[in-house]
A and B are shown apart, each in its own frame.
Chain A
Amino acid sequence: MAKYKMHILICGGTGCKSSNSLQIIENFHNILAEKNLADEVQVIKTGCFGFCEKGPIVKIMPDNTFYTQVTPEDVRRIVDEHIIKGRKVPDLLYTNPENKEHVSDSKHMDFYKKQIRIALRNCGFVDPENIEESISRGGYEGLAKCLTEMTPEQVIAEMKASGLRGRGGAGFPTGLKWELCAKNKADQKYVICNADEGDPGAFMDRSILEGDPNSIVEAMAICGYAIGATKGLVYIRAEYPLAIDRLKIAINQAREYGLLGKDILGTGFEFDIELRYGAGAFVCGEETALIHSMEGQRGEPTLKPPFPAVSGYMGKPSNVNNVETFANVPVIITKGAEWFSKIGTEKSKGTKVFALAGQINNVGLIEVPMGITLREIIYEIGGGIKDGRQFKAVQTGGPSGGCLTAKHLDTAIDYDSLVAAGSMMGSGGMVVMDETSCMPAIAKFYLEFTCEESCGKCTPCRVGNKRLCELLEKITNGTGTMEDLESLRNLAAVIKDSALCGLGQTSPNPVLSTLDNFWDEYVEHVVDKKCRAGVCKKLMQYVIDPEKCIGCGKCAKGCPVETIQRTDYIAPGHKLASFHIEASKCIKCGACINNCKFGAISIK
């Protein structure tokens, strides 16, 4: 095989794919063939690079050039200029928003500077559909090490020593979980990978599965060896077709290479993996609900104990870990617990992948060491708030998390500090909000989500969350009372205290944290009937300033409900009588404001 002089890495993750990255790949193939360069330049479809804000991403190696927002039409220029002539295409390079300079190397971008990529180590670097690329990066060496050099007890001890905690949200120590399952004797045990990622806007697990499925296959086999299981199951949502494809390819290739199946690496160890598809119910991310769903039962949680480690899938001891947790496992084995435990904080080791979203410049997927501050994430990696607006809050932990404020910006984030601050790690959603966000409305948004996704089994979640939602609706439409605020607080506290599963117990967090941190805003909605962010439509009033109105009538013409009428007042200096908006009929569509060229209409 001829050796390629250059590699072109093109993101084939779901985000970039939907921005036409497959066409980019095809164009590269065609144009390189046309130029007789197909033997010299290799084109690789990789997983997600993380910088989705700037996708599709094309990376040229070995020059380590990082092209952003590439279109299929740009391909010819890249080939002609960069590949053939060795000149970088400046307008496709990332531009530092502060000094407007082009940055060609991802290492020098703020977005990547503070990141440490462990779980995402192969994402955007290897071809996820080629196990050989994974092997050449040391893939399956962790498994080999376990099988040939370590006893299951040693593997568990290593995991415990690493301090790795569950990345699905609750942060249970992974090694301990394995140990509990390993202790239970049974004729069959199961390793279950929870790939039912459900937080709105979160795509950590999807990106790992799309970009580096072999790590998950390897980690599950390691877990199987440690706990004494020969079967692995991946519960993955059917809405992740690409992740499913890549995982299937990885499993098949691993079988072909003898890295799954019977007698792995000649050690006699047997392990294989099957996929189970979920329909995307949020609650099925809860491990008991997930297991019931896999069994063909209604996807709803049951009380623990019994824990899955004792009685899980089909009543057999089962170990459930999330995708990101598994992604850390092979590296911990190859590089050692000591190496891993040096990263992070005292009680939270390693890194965490976050899906950075909201009103922030650099939206995307990031992996940062535990202990990094929110400020570093938001202002350095995230590039600060969009359009220079003010930071207001950051929501972590998805619908189960809480909203933190500016006073928490310098908190070193780990599992415990986030809980102490009134939020949680969760699976890694991170939504940044600025002054245009209304906090009661945000709380309502999350509650609507949990209402929709509640399994309905327990009263506090089934009825309680519905009532919370209704109270928030009252507050945001201006009919709330101070008693409602009290009711809101008590009900939220009772739900937190008495719901059956993690979903229910954490669902009031957005309410409780916004009540704590943004009490004034609630009171404003209730007492002053005002929404300072201008989000709650029912609380807005469109007003025409008669002194500024020249009486042109454009607003009235454009009003869909004909609620703008001419008055008989003519302001000094104007020739025509001004207009007035009859508030009771106004639907707050905003058409008049857009039509007024004289700035006479404002929202109050």
Chain B
Amino acid sequence: MINVTIDNKAIQVPEGTTILKAARMAGIDIPTLCYFELDGMNFENKPGGCRVCMVEVTKDFNGKPRRNLAPACATDCVEGMEVLTASPRALNARKTVLELILSDHPNDCLQCEKSGDCELQSLAARMGIREIPFKGEQTTYKKDTTLSVYRDMDKCVYCRRCETMCNKFQTAGALSGVNRGFPSVVAPAFEQKLGDSSCINCGQCVQVCPVGALTLVDNIKNVMDALADPTKKVVVQTAPAVRVALGEEFGMQPGEIVTGKMAAALRRLGFDRVFDTDWSADLTIMEEGTELLGRLKKALAGEPVKLPMFTSCCPAWVAFYEKNFPDLLEYPSTAKSPQGMFGAVAKNFLAPKMGVKREDLVVVSIMPCLAKKSELARQELGNGTDQDVNFSLTTRELAHMLKQCNIDLNQLPEEDFDNPLGQSTGAAVIFGATGGVMEAALRTAYEVHTGKTLPRIDFEETRGFQGIKEATIDFDGFPLKIAVAYSLANARKLMEQVRNGNPNGYHFIEVMACPGGCIGGAGQPYHHGKSDIIRKRMEAIYREDSGKPIRKSHENPDIIAIYKEYYGEPCGHLSHEQLHTHYFDRSDKLEATK
């Protein structure tokens, strides 16, 4: 421990603590802008570039004052250090730096998607900026959009969070600093459009952007129009991670479960049927679990088969391996994602049941995710003229839509989903957290494979925030080797192992792109780096699971029923046609629809 004095307050901190963190321990909140950390999730952006957190070191390691101001986020405390975080000199620099940033910012807050959620806006308010003394040239860039991400780099403050996310956390390599000096900006190389780059539409750049430079592609109007169209029937599905985060947008504590209120709210918005992606998550487990057991059987029989099998629920992950590992396209499961399966069931099975043509059935999904907006446009997820899922909204868009329609989640009763695509198990809800798909699949695969009831239903080894989790599961004598990863940098490590002959002998690997899985998705309410929020969401996911009467996908009565009535058996002919997909070599980096 070392002794430091911050704003005349003496504290002890562990060695290696930055001034910023030491100050926070002492209850002093130094403002930051570029600095961004997801504690325990292997993400830190610390370029020391914005210079907002500058503090005055009045006594440094040598007993003398430091010549220049120090960035609190990137300066480690040393024994005996004395720091002033709000001296006139530090305040003047902080304010001037902020004024400089604002002098190259459009300041069109009223029309900005980020308004009310913008870190620069809050900072300006906090620092009491009333005018911007510097007038001069402002940088302008071409606007650019993919199916998921909208870029307005005029608003970029060059914090580099997106770049770090894209290159360090995801290793997608789509965004990096370009240009020099004043026109410096984060962009794809060679003035490419983001859609033509190696971008995988994970949208995490949007999640971490402090300002409105990177935002989502807004589909609220599309959905409102469909709802208002009397010739259309509109059904909606909601992903597992949405129910543990939507409440945050209505002032509830992170981790509050709003499943019933959400169903009620969607009904108030005028959706004809309110269904649940959890239902199709159970369906996914049936298909994917069966596929896994099939591959294992072949492998045990000595037949050539691709192992390990990877999960395929996460569309950013799918885009990632299509773009980076085209030689390994046969490894991932061919099962569609739950969103995709729901769309296929809705358009093929439900539409006739409801007595509408598939074209007149509009399928909307509510997702924690930006990549889902791109996924639904994949050519194999439609019949050529009509996509299985028509629109995907994020948790944030749903909240906006509700607010526009004067619906306050707090005031609503809890209601149930509609049937038959509404009932789900605990196995489905944990899809929302990293390791959840693995756990759900294990619950079913174990029982199907061994014919025995699981001695314990909770697979603790797949839970938690470790970037790569590994375990060997005893499948009644067969040691099943599994791995679970979130962040595509971790997935890349596993893929490279597979490329090099799978030395660890994995059989099954789950991959999710976002921090902590879908609960940390790019479509979720902005967490602004407060990793506790993501942790609370994960706790809620497992709470929801343990409270469910049925917790194994193969025991979901509606799933059993649809196989009986329609699909026959998992991985059968019809399910192959409707519930499975195939992958493309996209090493040319073009967007998924092309």
Q: Is the CB of B181 within 8 A of A454?
A: yes
Q: Which of B47, B51, B52 has the most CB of A within 10 A?
A: B51
Check B108 for interface membership: any CB of A closer than 8 A. no
A395 to chain B, nearest CB (A): 21
Residue of A nearest to B179 (CB): A456
Contacts of B177 in A (CB 8 A): 298, 300, 456-457
Check A370 for interface membership: any CB of B closer than 8 A. no
Check B137 for interface membership: any CB of A closer than 8 A. yes
Check B180 for interface membership: any CB of A closer than 8 A. yes
Contacts of B478 in A (CB 8 A): none
Check A505 for interface membership: any CB of B closer than 8 A. yes
Q: Which of B68-76, B359-367, B500-508, B581-589 contacts A (4 or more CB under 8 A)?
A: B68-76
Q: Mark A434-463, 1 if CB is under 8 A from B, else 0.
A: 000000000000000001111111111011
Q: Mark B63-107, 1 if CB is under 8 A from A, else 0.
A: 000001101001010000000000001001100110011011000
- Give Cα distance in the complex from A298 to B97, angstroms: 24
Contacts of A458 in B (CB 8 A): 48-51
B182 to chain A, nearest CB (A): 4
Check B184 for interface membership: any CB of A closer than 8 A. yes
Residue of A nearest to B181 (CB): A454
- Give Cα distance in the complex from A453 to B181, angstroms: 6
Q: Is the CB of A498 within 8 A of B158?
A: no
Contacts of B133 in A (CB 8 A): 487
Given contacts A466-B136, A466-B137, A467-B134, contact A459 B100 (CB under 8 A): yes
Q: Which of A123-131, A317-325, A489-497 contacts B (4 or more CB under 8 A)?
A: A489-497
Q: Is the CB of A491 within 8 A of B96?
A: yes
- Give Cα distance in the complex from A497 to B157, angstroms: 20
Contacts of B157 in A (CB 8 A): 459
Q: Mark A212-239, 1 if CB is under 8 A from B, else 0.
A: 0000000000000000000000000000
A interface size (C-beta, 8 A): 33
Check A413 for interface membership: any CB of B closer than 8 A. no
Contacts of B69 in A (CB 8 A): 497-498
Q: Is the CB of B180 within 8 A of A453?
A: yes
Given contacts A454-B180, A494-B97, contact A463 B103 (CB under 8 A): yes
Contacts of A363 in B (CB 8 A): none
Q: Is the CB of A464 within 8 A of B48?
A: no
Q: Mark B31-54, 1 if CB is under 8 A from A, else 0.
A: 000000000000000011111101
Check B531 for interface membership: any CB of A closer than 8 A. no
Check A470 for interface membership: any CB of B closer than 8 A. yes
Check A500 for interface membership: any CB of B closer than 8 A. yes
Partner of A456, one of B101, B103, B176, B181: B181
B365 to chain A, nearest CB (A): 38
Contacts of A505 in B (CB 8 A): 68
Q: Is the CB of A463 within 8 A of B54?
A: no
Q: Is the CB of B184 within 8 A of A456?
A: yes
Contacts of A496 in B (CB 8 A): 68
The B-contacting residues of A in range 321-379, CB under 8 angstroms, are none
Q: Is the CB of A498 within 8 A of B97?
A: yes
Residue of B nearest to A452 (CB): B181
Given contacts A452-B180, A462-B184, A470-B136, contact A457 B47 (CB under 8 A): yes
B409 to chain A, nearest CB (A): 39
Residue of B nearest to A305 (CB): B76
The A-contacting residues of B in range 180-207, CB under 8 angstroms, are 180-184
The B-contacting residues of A in range 145-164, CB under 8 angstroms, are none
Contacts of A302 in B (CB 8 A): 47-48
- Give Cα distance in the complex from A496 to B180, angstroms: 20
Q: Which of A465, A496, A497, A500 has the most CB of B within 10 A?
A: A497
Check A303 for interface membership: any CB of B closer than 8 A. yes
- Give Cα distance in the complex from A303 to B70, angstroms: 10
Check A281 for interface membership: any CB of B closer than 8 A. yes
Contacts of B158 in A (CB 8 A): 456-457, 459, 462
B79 to chain A, nearest CB (A): 15
A445 to chain B, nearest CB (A): 16
Contacts of A459 in B (CB 8 A): 49-52, 97, 100-101, 157-158
- Give Cα distance in the complex from A491 to B179, angstroms: 24
Given contacts A303-B74, A456-B180, contact A467 B136 (CB under 8 A): yes
B interface size (C-beta, 8 A): 36
- Give Cα distance in the complex from A457 to B17, angstroms: 24
Q: Is the CB of A467 within 8 A of B180?
A: no
Check A499 for interface membership: any CB of B closer than 8 A. yes
Given contacts A453-B180, A456-B177, contact A303 B71 (CB under 8 A): yes
Q: Is the CB of A497 within 8 A of B68?
A: yes
Contacts of B100 in A (CB 8 A): 459-460, 463-464, 467
Contacts of B51 in A (CB 8 A): 458-460, 498-500
The B-contacting residues of A in range 473-522, CB under 8 angstroms, are 487, 490-491, 494, 496-500, 505
B33 to chain A, nearest CB (A): 9
Q: Is the CB of A455 within 8 A of B93?
A: no
Contacts of A452 in B (CB 8 A): 180-181
Q: Is the CB of B182 within 8 A of A451?
A: yes
Q: Is the CB of B101 within 8 A of A463?
A: yes
Q: Which of A455, A460, A498 has the most CB of B within 10 A?
A: A498
Contacts of A305 in B (CB 8 A): 76
Contacts of A457 in B (CB 8 A): 47, 49, 158, 177, 184
Contacts of B134 in A (CB 8 A): 463, 467, 470, 487, 491
Q: Is the CB of B182 within 8 A of A466?
A: yes
- Give Cα distance in the complex from A452 to B182, angstroms: 8
Contacts of A470 in B (CB 8 A): 134-137
- Give Cα distance in the complex from A454 to B182, angstroms: 8
- Give Cα distance in the complex from A500 to B180, angstroms: 15
- Give Cα distance in the complex from A498 to B99, angstroms: 14
Contacts of B184 in A (CB 8 A): 454-457, 462
- Give Cα distance in the complex from A163 to B94, angstroms: 39
Residue of B nearest to A298 (CB): B177
Residue of A nearest to B184 (CB): A456
Residue of B nearest to A463 (CB): B100
A482 to chain B, nearest CB (A): 14
The B-contacting residues of A in range 297-313, CB under 8 angstroms, are 298, 300, 302-303, 305
B60 to chain A, nearest CB (A): 13
Contacts of A303 in B (CB 8 A): 48, 71, 74
- Give Cα distance in the complex from A463 to B99, angstroms: 10
Contacts of B135 in A (CB 8 A): 470
B78 to chain A, nearest CB (A): 11
- Give Cα distance in the complex from A173 to B103, angstroms: 40
Given contacts A460-B97, A497-B93, contact A451 B181 (CB under 8 A): yes
Contacts of B136 in A (CB 8 A): 466-467, 470
- Give Cα distance in the complex from A487 to B135, angstroms: 11
- Give Cα distance in the complex from A305 to B181, angstroms: 24
Q: Is the CB of A463 within 8 A of B104?
A: yes
Q: Is the CB of B93 within 8 A of A498?
A: yes
Contacts of A465 in B (CB 8 A): 181-182
Partner of A463, one of B68, B179, B182: B182
A278 to chain B, nearest CB (A): 14
Contacts of B96 in A (CB 8 A): 464, 490-491, 494
A468 to chain B, nearest CB (A): 10
- Give Cα distance in the complex from A498 to B66, angstroms: 12
- Give Cα distance in the complex from A252 to B226, angstroms: 74
Residue of A nearest to B96 (CB): A494
8 cross-chain pairs, A with B, having the tightest CB-CB distances, nearest first? A456-B184, A454-B181, A463-B100, A470-B136, A494-B96, A466-B182, A467-B134, A498-B93
What would 23 A/B residue contacts be, using CB atoms closer than 8 Å? A302-B47, A302-B48, A451-B181, A454-B181, A454-B182, A455-B184, A456-B183, A457-B184, A458-B48, A458-B51, A459-B97, A459-B100, A463-B104, A463-B134, A465-B182, A466-B104, A467-B100, A470-B136, A490-B92, A498-B93, A499-B51, A500-B71, A505-B68
Assuming A463-B134, A470-B136, what are 8 further A-B pairs, CB within 8 angstroms? A281-B180, A302-B48, A452-B181, A454-B184, A464-B100, A497-B54, A498-B97, A500-B48
Seen from chain A, the residues whose Cβ lies within 8 Å of a Cβ on chain B are 281, 298, 300, 302-303, 305, 451-460, 462-467, 470, 487, 490-491, 494, 496-500, 505
